[in-house]
């Protein structure tokens, strides 16, 4: 019975296995980045960047149809351009990073949808907005895995630098000439993962798998070295149960994955050990000293 419910879909159908692998790769690399986005108070920047990818991907689509390299390239260029522009603006002008992000993302979304509708059908539009996690081909899977590998390697190597820059950017800048470049490198990683997420979950859902598990993990532990793997674990679990649920219910896979991640978030809000509602209302007995 349990086997049929939880395992059989993946044994019986290759597209389910592919979807699982793709979503797991996304979660493992994206969720730790989400933790840093939250700590940097850039939760909304992730949203804006994911929308900024859309016009670029749409131009790639206009030129070459639903082609992985063309849409990836277009998305990367557009995302990186916006990332560099916004963090340069924050770094060198009086504007704060979040100042123009709302405008950015609305304009980008409108532009992207307009560009796709220029040529494509509603099916293509749905693909762009909500992804196609159940139709990942070999090339896309390898692409997702490669981005996850690059991201995890970079995080492992630059963990201390990134944590330092997140906590005290002025200090990081003075401690090393490389300090100036940490925010840009970080945003580049975020854009990479958003482009990956774009293929699997679509532009509207990609940022969900990055932010929701990260927000949940923050509610369970204050230790950063625990938060990062916990976020990834919540992301992986959301992907798995989301796929299972979508398989049995017939609901669209991408949104269901995000819904499960959302459910995990609300559960964390209520039961989380650090900052959850229950803990705030009924704190443990205070310590002796």
Partner 1 sequence: MSAAGSIRLDNVTLGYERRPAVHHLTGVVEAGAALAICGPNGAGKSTLLKGLAGLLAPIGGRIVWDGFSPRDIAYLPQSAEIDHAFPIDVLDFVSMGAMRRIGLFGRIGGEERARIATAIASVGLEGFEDRQIGTLSGGQMQRALFARLLVEDSPIILLDEPFGAIDAKTIDDLVTIMAGWREERRTVIAILHELDLARRAFPQALLLAREPVFWGPTREALSDSRLAEANRMVEAFNRDAEDCRRDETPHAA
Q: Residue 161 interacts with partner 1 (CB under 8 A)? A: yes
Contact letters for partner 1, residues 171-190 (x by CB under 8 A) = xx-xxxxxx--x--------
Closest by CA position to 239, among listed 8, 46, 17, 11:
17
User: Which two structure tokens, joined as six digits, stand for 38?
Assistant: 């939250």
Question: By C-beta, is 13 or 171 nearer to partner 1?
Answer: 171
- Among residues 194, 45, 50, 46, the alpha carbon closest in space to that of 108 is found at 50
| Least distance (Å) between residue 253 CB and partner 1 | 33
Q: Is 89 in the site for partner 1 (CB under 8 A)?
A: no
Q: What is the dihedral of CA 157, 224, 262, 267, to 10 degrees?
A: 150
CA distances from 133 to 50, 84, 118, 255 (A): 17, 29, 24, 10
Looking at beta carbons only, is 185 or 237 nearer to partner 1? 185
Total residues interacting with partner 1, rule: CB under 8 A: 25
Cα end-to-end distance, the chain, whole Å: 51
| Binding window for partner 1 (CB under 8 A); candidates: 101-109, 117-125, 223-231, 259-267 | 223-231
Of 1, 156, 170, 287, the one binding partner 1 by CB under 8 A: 170
| Minimum distance from residue 222 beta carbon to partner 1 (Å) | 5
Q: Please check whether residue 176 is in contact with residue 62, taking contact to mean a CB–CB distance below 8 angstroms.
A: no
Are the beta carbons of 240 and 165 closer than 8 angstroms? no
User: What string marks each residue from 183 to 222 as x (binds partner 1 by CB under 8 A) or -?
Assistant: ---------------------------------------x
d(CA 183, CA 185): 6
Under 8 Å CB-to-CB from 1, ≥6 apart: which residues? Answer: none
User: Which residue from 1, 2, 94, 156 is in contact with partner 1, where contact means CB under 8 A?
Assistant: 94
CB of 172 to partner 1, least distance (A): 8
**Subset of residues 97 to 156 that bind partner 1, contact rule: CB under 8 A:** none
Binding residues for partner 1, per CB under 8 A?
39, 94, 157-158, 160-161, 163-164, 166-168, 170-172, 174-179, 182, 222-224, 227
């Amino acid at each position: 019975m349990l086997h049929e419910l939880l395992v059989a879909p993946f044994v019986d159908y290759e597209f389910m296995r592919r979807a699982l692998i793709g979503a797991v790769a996304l979660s493992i690399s994206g969720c730790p980045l989400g933790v840093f986005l939250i700590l940097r108070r850039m939760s909304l920047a992730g949203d804006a960047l994911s929308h900024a990818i859309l016009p670029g991907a749409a131009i790639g689509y206009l030129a070459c149809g639903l082609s992985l390299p063309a849409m990836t390239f277009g998305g990367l260029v557009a995302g990186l351009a916006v990332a560099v522009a916004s963090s340069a603006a924050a770094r060198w002008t009086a504007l704060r990073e979040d100042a123009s992000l709302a405008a950015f993302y609305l304009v980008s979304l409108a532009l992207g949808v307009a560009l796709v509708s220029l040529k494509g059908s509603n099916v293509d539009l749905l693909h762009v907005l909500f992804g196609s996690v159940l139709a990942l081909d070999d090339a896309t899977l390898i692409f997702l895995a490669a981005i996850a590998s690059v991201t995890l390697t970079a995080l492992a190597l630059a963990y201390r630098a990134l944590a330092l820059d997140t906590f005290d950017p002025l200090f990081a800048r003075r401690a090393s000439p490389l300090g100036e470049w940490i925010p840009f490198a970080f945003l580049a990683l975020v854009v990479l993962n958003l482009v990956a997420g774009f293929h699997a979950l679509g532009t509207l859902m990609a940022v969900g798998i990055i932010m929701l598990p990260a927000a949940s993990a923050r509610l369970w532990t204050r230790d950063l070295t625990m938060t990062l793997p916990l976020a990834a674990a919540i992301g992986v679990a959301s992907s798995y149960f989301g796929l299972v649920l979508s398989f049995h219910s017939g609901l669209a896979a991408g949104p269901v994955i995000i819904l499960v991640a959302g459910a995990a978030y609300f559960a964390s809000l209520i039961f989380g050990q650090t900052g959850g509602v229950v803990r705030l209302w009924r704190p443990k007995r205070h310590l002796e000293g």
